Structure 1
Amino acid sequence: MPLQRTQPVLASFPSEHLTIAAGVAIFHLATERVVLCYHTRDKYPFLPKGRRNANEDTSQAAEREGFEESGYRNRLLPLPLIHRQPDRDEGHEDFVTEPLWTQLLPVSRRTQYLLHWYIAETVPKSVEEEYGRMYRDKEDLKPYKPPAPFPKGQTIEARIEEDWEVRDGDGSRQMYEPVRHDGTGVDEEEALYESSLVSIEEARRRLGKSSAMDIIEKAIEYIQYRKRMELGTADPPTRDANLGYWE
């Protein structure tokens, strides 16, 4: 079902009846594609998501679940989200890695599933090569080793430029294709997942009117907003400029 904003609710759950989870939409910025997973047995497409581990930061859980379920190494993408969190002591930041959307989904009559959705990007070739040097065996990557965060101060345009590679010999350029790692699933269920980078149009065709597609569309809006801010054609978002913020 498509995402719909609902009225605030009053509820409380003890730890044994609350499951906290994180999901992620992973983009290859240079080609405007998004990672889409597919369940080969049950025949449906989806965005990667799953429960966070005990004592794990929820944002890191989003990256980890994205990697385990899709095979694409990823890192959260700071975006000019409108949010209600206070600024850090270091001061205001226009670009944040807060959840884009949060869902409350019932697991049973007694248990609640709290799902935070984040936005991420595939990592550049230099990050993949660094992993190859540091962790030569898959077992070296356990427990999960998160990549370095998106460089502070780097623009989307500069990040896209990183993915253009110069061919040896003739000096022409080709686009770097993000690596999809095999065997990253952690159980028999995840071994049934396939994934690929698809165009936004293909994602719309396969996902239809769904919460997953709504998350992708919302993420695209914020990615484009950040690009305009970096070009100087859009102002940073302000809470007071958004109708309904204080409602």
Structure 2
Amino acid sequence: MNRSFVCCGLLLWLLATPTAAVEQFSYRVLEQKPLVANSFVQGLQIVDGHLYLSTGLYGQSRLLRYRFADGELLDQRHLHPRLFGEGLTVFDDRVFQLTWRARRMLVYTRQDLSPAAVFTLRGEGWGLTDNGRELIYSDGSHHLHFLNPDNGRHLRSVAVTQQGRAIARLNELEWIDGKVWANVWQTDSIVIIDPDSGEVTASVDLSGLLPSSEQRPNTDVLNGIARNPADGGLWVTGKNWPWLYRIELVPAAAGTAESR
């Protein structure tokens, strides 16, 4: 058989194969809650009426637990000045917190946030979530990594792509309805990822969420996704932002930030 004919046929088949469309969403603001404006948010999660927050920057990184209803600070842990806090997830009776370049995952007892263990990472730590069985973290690349929560052992990795294009700089993560939601660092976008294939199935444009009148010299990028299991509310924020915003997704054609 003519080899060039086979290659040409394969190319035509690939070009003719439809690529799954990526759903595009905008947002509507439903509610907002005040947040300590100097919180360099790296990890965010709502569990059992508590807001867990991981903040970054050397010498300023902390793990904090607030009462979500009124924002009262209940517990906090300061990281060593040489550690830069990143993503977090609450899993059973423990809280897991990533560090950026130190290749460490810090493990705390959930009851009082006391240190319980330290796991070693293969590379940098960025975002962290879990699927109820495994920890899932990002490292700044276009991969998600799955770990055993008992010992931090690496189980597998999946490459994240959108219509064949690698999507890197995956930052804060949240597990919602069987999908991984991820902030894309230095953008106003959230991508929704199929954890089995790594394919991006939807994208959310949060441009304009924090009004320019609310921005200050230290205001940084969008970062932080948390779904409240009590009522399904979807909350988002950013680094050094003064607000948590509860939003709902709307098809992109319907417009952005329809109400506040």
Which TM-score applies when normalising by structure 1? 0.24
**Which is richer in strand?**
2
Which TM-score applies when normalising by structure 2? 0.23
